[in-house]
Amino acid sequence: MKPQEEPIHIKCKKTEIAENVLMPGDPLRAKYIAEKFLKNARLVTSVRNMFGFTGTYKGKRVTVMGSGMGMPSMSIYAFELFYYFNVKKIIRIGTCGVVTPEIKVPELILASDVYSLSNFAYIYDETKTHLEKPSKKLNKAIIETAKKQGQKVHVGTVLTCDQFGPYINMDRVLKKIPKDVHPIAEEMEAYALMHVAKVFKRDAAAIVTAVDSKFSEDVLSIEDREKSLDDMILLALDSII
């Protein structure tokens, strides 16, 4: 079925969305990023309070827009950005739980690939896969930028779940994953972004900050999460331009 002529969930002129987009899950985090890091940032869309801001970073136009929580929400906004606004690159910036003791809160993780037990890809376009890969070009830029910034970034498989990790038995979920897949973190959106980007032949990547771990009692407060995300935001901004 061909989509309708105009997007339903993003309402603005096509020229008001930049080719390069950062997508945090929380629309208020998008507001925080726009106000703190972008110049001349302007709210361009706010349907359902899913805020999108466009401004400049180091002279380059960038849009920062919330994705909402979970794969269905991410896929709606990623689809509309690619299909209606001709966005070229999207970097998801979010939070995650870690499932390996080697990673500490609040270290950064770059997805080398993303695994999901869900049927998202099959429902989307009958693709029979549970593993998606980000853009090699974009991941390379992120790794090189992290080195220049002196930032430590773990690179590995990220697990995208249909449920919020802390509310379920994650060990039970991990036992269902093939033995040759070794996730280091779990979250709820990256897989959908990677699959939609692949369909449109666009670049996408995911950087996530570890905010909880079953191997540690360190859990960041909401306020501390905001502060700890600045390194990830700067990494994403410098990489995407």
Range of the domain at 198: 14-240
Average the pLDDT over 151-179 and give the result: 95
9 in a domain, yes or no?
Answer: no
CA distance readout (Å), 207 to 75, 167, 188, 198: 17, 22, 13, 17
4 in a domain, yes or no?
Answer: no
C-beta of residue 176 within 8 angstroms of C-beta of residue 204? no
Average the pLDDT over 62-78 and give the result: 98
Tokens of residue 16, six digits: 């008001």
169 in a domain, yes or no?
Answer: yes
52 in a domain, yes or no?
Answer: yes
Residue at token pair 């002279």 = 59
Of 26, 113, 212, 231, which residue is the catalytic one? 212
Structural domain tally of the chain?
1
What distance in Å separates the CA atoms of residue 35 and residue 173, rounded to the nearest whole number? 38
CA dihedral sign of residues 60, 65, 69, 75? negative
40 in a domain, yes or no?
Answer: yes
Percent of the chain clearing pLDDT 70 (strictly above): 97
77 in a domain, yes or no?
Answer: yes
27 in a domain, yes or no?
Answer: yes
The Cβ-side half-sphere exposure at 144, using a 13 Å CA radius, reads 10
Q: Is 180 designated active site?
A: no
Each residue's pLDDT tens digit, 94-139: 999 999 999 999 999 999 999 999 999 999 999 999 999 999 999 9
Q: What pTM was estimated for this model as a whole?
A: 0.95
3 in a domain, yes or no?
Answer: no
| Residue 4 backbone dihedrals phi, psi, to 5 degrees | -65, 170
CATH number of the domain that 173 lies in?
A: 3.40.50.1580
What DSSP letter does each residue of 52-71 carry, written as one string?
EEEEEETTEEEEEE---SSH
